[in-house]
Amino acid sequence: MVGSPILSSVTLRIRSGSQKKADLIFITRSLRGKIFSGAAGRRKERLFMATWGDVKGFLINNCDAKEEKNGLMSMVISYKDGRNQLVVVCRREVNGADWIDISSPVGTLNSGTVEVALEVLSNADCGGLVKIGDTHAVRHCIPIADLSNEELVGPLGIVASVADILEERLIGGDNL
């Protein structure tokens, strides 16, 4: 991710060479006074989360996440261009350790659009294409142990932005 610590942005080049710059509005809101403290020029403060409970608390307090019945956390990220993107975060166990699964739906892709999606994802900093039921999604998993706010918010924003770009370019519309 590039940009100032107060407003982060993601820019990806799609096959046609066009760009979409997605300003992560929720990051702006969550960073102002919560994660960074002190006057300009001071070193920023990093928050560390060691448990799933810490992660849930951070997402609820800083990203307007809602806890669903099945233990999932969901949030909708809104972009300046009026588009919105659903992001789901859940806990998973990998080799006895707690990890976070960040997923954002794209829609149902056919074999031709899957190839384009994989090409786009080859240029992304994180995330991979998965199929959940009939819906394709962008997913990224990270271990919780010693996870910082920056290590959570960065991938969360990238996954959402990439999924939104894929949805807009390959599905059309703004349904998820």
Q: What is the pLDDT of residues 46-66, one digit of tens each?
A: 667 788 998 999 899 888 899
> Is residue 110 one of the residues assigned to a domain?
yes
- Poorest-pLDDT segment among 21-30, 92-101, 130-139, 162-171: 21-30
* Residue 13: per-residue pLDDT: 32
pLDDT tens by residue, 132-174: 999 999 999 999 988 888 889 889 999 999 999 999 989 987 7
25 and 80 in contact (C-beta within 8 Å)? yes
> Is residue 142 one of the residues assigned to a domain?
yes
Q: Tokens 């300046």 sit at which residue?
A: 80
Burial code (b: 16+ CB inside 10 Å, e: under 16) for 64-87 equals ebeeeeeeebebebebeeebebbb
State the CB neighbour count (10 A cutoff) for residue 36. Answer: 16
Q: How large is the average pLDDT for residues 86-106? A: 94
Dihedral sign, Cα of residue 81, residue 86, residue 90, residue 94: negative
> Is residue 102 one of the residues assigned to a domain?
yes
* Residue 176: per-residue pLDDT: 64
> Is residue 176 one of the residues assigned to a domain?
no
Q: Tokens 């969901």 sit at which residue?
A: 74
Q: Tell me which residue range forms the domain holding 165.
A: 2-171
Both tokens of residue 36? Answer: 């960074």
Walk across the sheet containing 84-94 and list its strands.
66-67, 73-78, 84-94, 97-107, 135-143, 128-132
- Structural domains counted in the chain: 1
> Is residue 57 one of the residues assigned to a domain?
yes
